[in-house]
Amino acid sequence: MSLPGRAPAGSAAAESSAAESSAAESSAAESSAADAAAAGRASEALAIPVEPPGDPATFPALVEEIRRLSRERDAVILAHSYERPEIQDVADHVGDSLMLSRVAATAPQSTIVFCGVSFMAETAKILSPSKRVLLPDLAAGCSLADSITVDQLRAWKAEHPGAVVVSYVNTTAAVKAESDYCCTSSNARSVIEAIPADRRILFLPDMFLGMWLERVTGRKLTIWLGECHVHAGIRASDVERWHREEPGAELLIHPECGCTSQIIDAAAEDAAFGGKPAHILSTEGMVSFAERSKAPAFLVATEIGILHRLELKAPGKRFVPVNREAVCQYMKLITLPKLRDSLRDGVHEIDVPPEVAARARLALERMLAIG
């Protein structure tokens, strides 16, 4: 594994010889800069006020108006599984990035209203360039997507000529346009395994997903130092505490979590886990697993918006967040009134320059073809 600025303890990079001390010092400086940048992005996100949902008594009328407007505007409403419960309930389709990308690419409606964050709406526009794509709040960004700019990616590619660039879907359209493949947490492993073994891979921007991919594929990746502030905030101590209190529960962990590797090892070695493995899953994978499993209770390590969908899809089972503060402020910017206004007034339309979209579309189509 090669990280631009950081190597986890025990890795080959961490065991560098004294002859590499100068490079190590430079790496440490880059790591400090990356940590500072990540802290800044997290602080910015956490400073966003999460609006209250409003008076639930008004929801039925708002939902009725939204559905009427959706029919009149020939619109389809897509919502990510981290959105507010009332947004998920009014949407035509709810799912993870891969599932929603597929819907966006094939939806017959002329307008797509994306209840998610900006990179998701951009992806929908790239895959359906002839459709109008609306995002109910333009401030709905992503700290992970913000962790790499297109100029940074171009410079990184120049340092590794001939490498294959695999970008997580949580990236801007411009970054996707500089990539060979996109992937989601649902199909990242398949994407990596589809690339010839003799090719170097630059993986960006989520370092924890990249480290997990190294573990499950056996491939050595060069990994960008990005992270999702929500998943990075879920600690191994959160999981271990809940496992002591809920010893019979199945453990579901998103691969963006910073504690993923620690928990996999602990689950294999620690009697406190009762010999049960940690299930590393995308959000859609969590839903499918919960539906199939006979377990009555689950510990969930991801953004807490998924709990609503889990409870709907697996009624009678209990879902416990390992960190109740794992809230994406950007996702929660979308509210029923904003969704209604976007549909009614056609506001906050997303556009992607055609030349950028054409190049990004190739990486996304490769992602969709791999499955």
In 10 A of CB 351, how many CB atoms?
12
Q: At 178, which amino acid appears?
A: E
**Contact of 174 with 167, CB cutoff 8 Å:** no
CATH of 234-321, one of 3.40.50.10800, 3.40.190.10, 3.30.300.20, 3.30.200.20: 3.40.50.10800
Q: Of the candidates 184, 166, 204, which has an alpha carbon nearest to the alpha carbon of residue 100?
A: 184
Token pair recorded at residue 165:
């660039």
The whole-angstrom separation of Cα 345 and Cα 116 is 19
Total-model pTM: 0.86
Domain ranges of the chain: 56-141+331-359, 144-229, 234-321
The domain 144-229 is classified under which CATH number: 3.40.50.2300, 3.40.50.10800, 1.10.3720.10, 3.40.190.10? Answer: 3.40.50.10800
pLDDT tens over the chain, length 371 residues = 665 633 333 333 333 333 333 434 444 445 555 556 555 665 676 677 777 888 899 999 999 999 999 999 999 999 999 999 999 999 999 999 889 999 999 999 999 999 999 999 999 999 999 999 999 999 999 999 999 999 999 999 999 999 999 999 999 999 999 999 999 999 999 999 999 999 999 999 999 999 999 999 999 999 999 999 999 999 988 988 888 888 889 999 999 998 887 777 766 555 445 556 789 999 999 999 999 999 999 999 999 999 999 999 999 999 999 999 999 999 999 999 999 999 999 999 999 999 999 999 999 999 999 97
Give the total residue count for the chain. 371
Q: Which residues pair with 280 in a beta bridge?
A: 253
Q: Do domains 56-141+331-359 and 144-229 have the same CATH topology?
A: yes
56-141+331-359: CATH topology: Rossmann fold (3.40.50)
